[in-house]
A and B are shown apart, each in its own frame.
Chain A
Amino acid sequence: MKIVFVLLVMLLAACSSAPPAPAPVEHRPSPASAPPPQSAPTIPGTESSTAQPPAHPPPRKPSSNATEALTIASTHAAAAGDTRSAISHLQRAIRLEGRNAELWARLSTAFLRDGQIDSARQYANRALALAGNRGDWKRAAWLAIAELEEFDGNQDEADRIRQLYASGHG
């Protein structure tokens, strides 16, 4: 009986137009499993160090090695044209040091490059507010503002700010 039953079903199966198929499995990685590698931003010397030497001069030293590493990674990403990664690194750094005006100034410039002008303006404002009287932070904030001035077509104003802060004093 079992054989007859199986034969009948096999006959039907053979008649059917549907091809044999695997059972459905959604390809979602489990939390611990890694999906296929993709081009991902890396932090030099941290989680995976594959970045090229920086095309830009290294940034001024922020207040901790962690934010410094993230700032360098952001500079690398920006130099490679990967603005989204540059932004991600800076946001991660700001989560560590939210009152660091230089980080906000850098974020402003990264957003400007990404075409998000309104946010760029707000971040530059935030940088300036946090900078207070601290020279290096004021300089970073004003240089970010110079970029925005240039974007707005105020080249003279941008040049004036850059000239003022060119020597590195604030």
Chain B
Amino acid sequence: MAEYRRSGRRQPATPQSKLRRLILRILWFFLGAGMLAATVVLGYLWYLDRTLTEVFNGRRWSLPAQVYAAPTELYVGNQLMLREYLAELERSGYSQQGSPRHPGQYTVEDDTVITYLRAFQFDDHLRDAQRIQIRFRSHGIIDIQDDQGTSIPLIRLDPPIIGSFFPSHGEDRVVLDPEEVPPLLSAGLKAVEDKNFDRHVGFSISGILRAALANIRAGEVAQGGSTLTQQLVKSYFLDNSRTIKRKLHELAMSVVLELRFSKDDLLNAYINEIFLGQSGNRAIHGFGLGAQFYFNRPLGELQPHEIATLIAIIRGPSYYDPFRHPDRALDRRNRVLATFHQEGLIDSRVTTHQQKQSLGVTGRQRQGGRYYPAFMDVVRTTLNRNYSRDDLASQGLRVFSTLQPRLQESLQKHIAERLTALEKARKLEKLEAAVVILDAQTGELMALAGGREAGFEGFNRAISSRRPIGSLMKPLVVLAALEQSRSLTEIIDDAPITVPLSRNKSWTPRNYDGRVHGPVPIVRLLGDSLNLATVRLSQDIGLPPILNLFLRLTGHKATNSNPSFVLGAEPMSPLEVAQMYGTIANGGFRMPVKAVTAVLNAEGKALYQQPFEMQTVVDPEDAEALTYVLESGMQLGTGRGSRHARAGVAGKTGTSNDYRDSWFAGFDARKVGIVWIGRDDNQAMGLTGSTGALAIWDPIFTDLGVEPVTHEDTSKVRDVEYATGLLANPACAVTVRLPVNAPETLPSKPGCGITEETDQRWRWPFWDNQ
């Protein structure tokens, strides 16, 4: 055999054997290529399966921290008017129904509102859903009862969400568990977007062909053939490019997901993931947030036509944007409702009724009404001390803030109106303003406006703009005098004064009116805002005690340690001024301004609760005495133009050099309000504190309702003539009520005094009963 081979003799090949070899070669080629392809495909699918499953399992949705406003307390005696309560209900997304049968609904019958309160986890308490009946009169709430007719002394309305900390990529969402999803949404989604969802394996050939046919007919991409699973994959893992490679990738991924996860899981993932709109840099994802964003209500409370609107939006959140293109959205919504009907999800009567409804989207968000960026700046600063940006954007924290939306909206309205009026009346332009309202007793920030434009997410003048505060500093000089046991009736000469400075320089201040007022009591020095007397008194006291007082009141050091400091040549932000005046209003107790009261984790456990922090920094008696002086200034001094001048408020006007800044700081028993008006280019406006800032402060406090400052200990308080500081009878002199160190030694105004004996005899019985 070997010999034979070596001889090289071979049998000639027949045509049949050639053909057989060729066929075998081809078969081997295809087999090899097939195996190679199969290996590649299997490898690819194996890779997809591992990575997709890992990512899908491991990935938790980033749950942005949600920030709530302060809840409205409802109780008998609350001066909350019916219309204000209805506005609160609207803010919290309650809807008016003939008879409230479900949480989130209310009805109005004359002066009575029946409200079905939602269950809500407050920072300290889980409140179950509950139906209550509130009766109103012209002065507020007069009765609250539950369903059994039992009186309720106090109950809270669930607060609205005022912002969230979505991550830098902008995704914001409210995640829903399957049991929170209305059946109509699940069924409706399948009916409209993917009829074969329960049967296909991730993609549908018939769906793709049907869409292709429709697109060819329309001459454009009119219909998508993507299943819900493909849409989920697209939103979850892929970009928006339209390439064959990406489409194949999408198909493979969809199949892998279908095999790995149940249909219910995928549908729930879709409901939480799908993109439903954009608001600025905030991307609205999922139906939970979609319901809040478009209807300001939880998904579970939506009516069929509202669910249909959300489903209608999916196809093109921009094209069918109900805010910008309501007609398109309405048209598509009605087609979605028709599909619901065709698929047997709603009957014809409901369909007809629902199709007649208006879109009903709430435009508030777009107007910046519900999201308060200036206030949120303060919340963010607070939270950044304890939480990373990632935690805030992903951990599902629930933040309870101190914002009172009703007040916030009131001050934004008054800022806009008054600035426009001032510009018109005085031929000014580009005026800006900032306002801070604090709860004087707790230090809680009730409202804050960073500028004229509500909802503007830019430069926040209330916290970032530091401007000279002018005469708002003068109360510190008087307080320093009180700390040195000086009397408010002590006479200071309002006469020209030159203060030596370093390097042979000197400073000669002037009064605003350019006049000299001669000897005046300290109370008038502040009331009439006299510069010369203030500087003279400060020189007498010495600057260090005044600077030290500033540190105690504000918690930070002054930047200017020159004599001009006492006339307000110290730049401060409105929020810092609020801290300073808050300490005075709070009787000498400094309470750091706070905007957050508590933070709960996603499970409702308190992570952070902020107690009332306070520190005694001024003797309460001195703070009280200064409050009397500030009340006098309102009654007879630069604040006398206020409509609340004699309503028991304390306040001080401030004007910086050349009328560049107009300030007003005022408080009543409960609230401190700081207003600044100026221009961003720091140009002169010609407005003083009383002609500018006070014009905004006044209407805000009218809306809030003034609660007069009260004084429990009046044993040292006397009627004193404003001009001279002498004891006097209000019947024959212009007087103010002031605490006096040693009343028995204070001389009376000739011919207008009251003898000490008479005073004692007539006053003490009343004091004893106070």
Question: Any chain B CB within 8 A of the CB of A52?
Answer: no
> Are A122 and B589 in contact, with the CB atoms below 8 A?
yes
- Give the distance to chain B from A50, nearest Cβ to Cβ, in Å: 11
The answer on a CB contact under 8 Å between A66 and B73 is yes
The listed residue (A27, A33, A46, A116) touching B603 by CB distance below 8 A is A27
> Could you give, for residues 63-100 of chain A, a 1 whenever the CB lies within 8 Å of some chain B CB and a 0 otherwise?
01110111000000000000011011101101110110
A24 to B369, CA, bound (A): 33
- Chain B residues near A40 (CB, 8 Å)? 124-126
Interface centre among B151, B262, B611 (most CB of A within 10 A): B611
Instruction: Report Cα–Cα, A28/B396, bound state, in Å.
Output: 6
A108 to B400, CA, bound (A): 24
Interface code A106-148, partner B: CB below 8 Å = 1, 0 otherwise? 0100010000100100110110011111100100000000000
Interface pairs (7), CB distance under 8 Å:
A8-B41, A13-B256, A23-B56, A64-B77, A94-B612, A96-B75, A99-B710
> Does residue A43 face the partner (Cβ distance < 8 Å to B)?
yes
Q: Closest residue to A134 on the B side, CB-wise?
A: B712
Judged by a CB distance under 8 angstroms, whether A18 is at the interface is yes
Q: Which of B54, B66, B73, B442 contacts A98 (CB under 8 A)?
A: B442
Interchain CB contact under 8 A, B256 and A16: no
Judged by a CB distance under 8 angstroms, whether B559 is at the interface is no
**Contact A35–B301 (Cβ < 8 Å):** no
Tell me if A153 counts as interface (CB < 8 A to partner B). Answer: no
Q: Known contacts A12-B42, A66-B75: does B205 contact A30 (CB below 8 Å)?
A: no
A53, CB-defined interface residue at 8 Å:
no
Whole-angstrom CA separation of A125 from B586 in the bound complex = 12
In-complex Cβ contact of A30 among B41, B129, B261, B288 (8 A): B288
Q: Is the CB of A48 within 8 A of B128?
A: yes
Is the Cβ of B49 less than 8 Å from the Cβ of A12?
A: yes
Closest to B121 in A: A35
Whether B298 and A30, one on each chain, are in contact in the complex, defined by CB atoms closer than 8 angstroms, is yes
Which of A22, A43, A46, A99 is close to B441, meaning CB atoms less than 8 Å apart? A99
Contact at A6–B201, with CB atoms within 8 Å? yes
When distances are taken between beta carbons in the complex, the residues of chain A under 8 Å from B259 are 6, 9-10, 13
Q: Are A65 and B153 in contact (CB under 8 A)?
A: yes
Question: In the complex, which residues of chain A have a beta carbon less than 8 angstroms from the beta carbon of B50?
Answer: 16, 18
3 nearest interchain CB pairs? A132-B712, A98-B441, A129-B620
For the complex, give the distance between the alpha carbons of A129 and B75 in Å: 27
Closest Cβ of chain A to B554, distance in Å, is 18
When chains A and B are docked, how far (Å) is the Cα of A11 from the Cα of B300? Answer: 41
Given contacts A30-B180, A68-B153, A122-B615, contact A22 B396 (CB under 8 A): no
Contact A23 B269 (CB under 8 A): yes
Which of A32, A107, A132 has the most B CB atoms < 10 Å from its CB?
A32
A126→B589 contact, CB < 8 A = yes
- A18-B57, A26-B175, A32-B118 known; A6-B265 Cβ under 8 A: no
Given A2-B205, A132-B711, do A48 and B604 touch, yes or no (CB 8 Å)? no
Checking A10, A65, A111 against B77 with a beta-carbon cut-off of 8 angstroms, the contacting residue is: A65
The answer to whether B124 touches A41 (Cβ under 8 A) is yes
Tell me if A34 counts as interface (CB < 8 A to partner B): yes
Instruction: Please give me the residue from chain A that is nearest to B117 by CB atom.
Output: A47
Residues of A within 8 A of B151 (CB): 45
How far apart are A117's CB and chain B's nearest CB, in angstroms?
A: 13
Chain B residues contacting A129 (CB-CB under 8 Å) are 587-589, 620
Taking A31-B120, A47-B156 as contacts, is the C-beta distance between A26 and B42 under 8 angstroms? no
A121 and chain B: residue at smallest CB distance: B616
Cross-chain contact A91 with B710 (CB below 8 angstroms) = no
Contact of A24 among B73, B178, B269 (CB under 8 A): B269
Verify if B465 is at the interface (C-beta below 8 Å from A). Answer: no
Which residues of chain B are near A47, meaning CB under 8 Å?
125, 127-128, 130, 152, 155-156
CB distance from B55 to the nearest CB of A (A): 10
List residues 702-733 of chain B with CB under 8 A from any CB of chain A: 710-715
A24/B124 contact (C-beta < 8 A), A10-B259, A32-B118 known: no
Tell me if B314 is interfacial: C-beta within 8 Å of chain A. no
Interface check A167, CB cutoff 8 A: no
A112 to B614, CA, bound (A): 15
Bound form: Cα–Cα A159–B651 in Å: 43
Asked if B76 and A26 sit within 8 Å, CB to CB, the answer is no
| Residues in A neighbouring B77, C-beta threshold 8 A | 64-66
Bound-state Cα–Cα, A69 to B76, Å: 12
State whether the Cβ of A21 lies closer than 8 Å to any Cβ in chain B.
yes
Q: Is the CB of B712 within 8 A of A13?
A: no
Q: In the complex, which of the residues A2, A23, A26 contacts B265, with contact meaning CB atoms closer than 8 Å? A: A23
Please indicate which of the listed interface residues A9, A46, A133 has the most CB atoms of chain B within 10 Å of its own CB: A9
Q: How far is the CA of A129 from the CA of B585 in the complex (A)?
A: 12
Q: Which residues of B contact A38 (CB under 8 A)?
A: 126, 604
Query: Are A66 and B175 closer than 8 Å at their CB atoms?
Result: no
A35 to B156, CA, bound (A): 18
Contact check, A42 vs B63: say whether CB atoms are below 8 A apart: no
Is A66 within 8 A of B126, CB to CB?
Answer: no
Contact in complex: B260, A13 (CB < 8 Å): yes
**Nearest CB on A from B84, distance (A):** 17
In the bound assembly, the distance between CA atoms of A45 and B154 in angstroms comes to 8
Contact present for B442 and A94 (CB under 8 Å): yes
Given known A24-B61, A30-B288, A91-B612, contact A64–B75 (CB-CB < 8 A): yes
A57 interfacial by beta-carbon distance below 8 Å: no
Contact pick for A69, options B120, B154, B176, B713, CB 8 Å: B154
For B577-612 the 0/1 string (1 means CB < 8 A from A) is 000000000011100000000000011100001011
Instruction: List which B488-518 residues lie within 8 A (CB) of chain A.
Output: none
Nearest CB to that of B402 among chain A residues?
A: A95
In the docked arrangement, what's the CA distance between A65 and B76, Å? 8
Contact A9 B256 (CB under 8 A): yes
A104: min CB distance to chain B, Å:
9
**Closest residue of A by beta carbon distance from B124:** A88
Contact A46–B128 (Cβ < 8 Å) = no
Residues in A whose Cβ lies below 8 Å from that of B459: none
A130-B439 in contact (CB<8A): no
Q: Is the CB of B153 within 8 A of A9?
A: no
Which one of A18, A28, A131, A134 lies within 8 Å of B54 (CB-CB)? A18
Q: Return A31 CB to nearest CB of chain B, in Å.
A: 6
Q: How far is the CB of A29 from chain B (nearest CB, A)?
A: 7
Q: How far is the CA of A134 from the CA of B710 in the complex (A)?
A: 12
- When C-beta atoms are compared, the residue in chain B nearest to A93 turns out to be B154
Of B59, B588, B620, B714, the most chain A CB neighbours within 10 A belong to B620
In the bound assembly, the distance between CA atoms of A99 and B440 in angstroms comes to 10
Residues on A with beta carbons closer than 8 Å to the beta carbon of B441 = 94, 98-99
Q: In the complex, A11 Cα to B41 Cα: how many Å? A: 12
Other A-B pairs beyond A13-B259, A22-B261, A24-B61, 12, CB < 8 Å: A9-B45, A12-B49, A18-B50, A31-B66, A34-B119, A34-B129, A45-B151, A69-B153, A96-B75, A98-B440, A98-B442, A107-B612
Question: For residue A94, which residues in chain B have a CB less than 8 angstroms away from its CB?
Answer: 441-442, 612
8 A Cβ contacts from B92-151 to A: 103-104, 118-121, 123-130, 150-151
Is the Cβ of B53 less than 8 Å from the Cβ of A18?
A: yes
Q: Is B268 an interface residue (CB 8 A)?
A: yes
Tell me which residues across on chain A come within 8 A of B712, comparing CB atoms.
130-134, 137
Known A-B contacts A30-B288, A95-B439; the reply to A122 vs B614 at CB < 8 A is: yes
Using CB atoms, name the residue of chain A closest to B50. A16
Measured CB to CB, the closest approach of chain A to B628, in angstroms, equals: 13
Q: Is B158 an interface residue (CB 8 A)?
A: yes
Within 8 A of A (CB), among B69-85: 73, 75-78
Residues of A within 8 A of B174 (CB): 28, 30-31
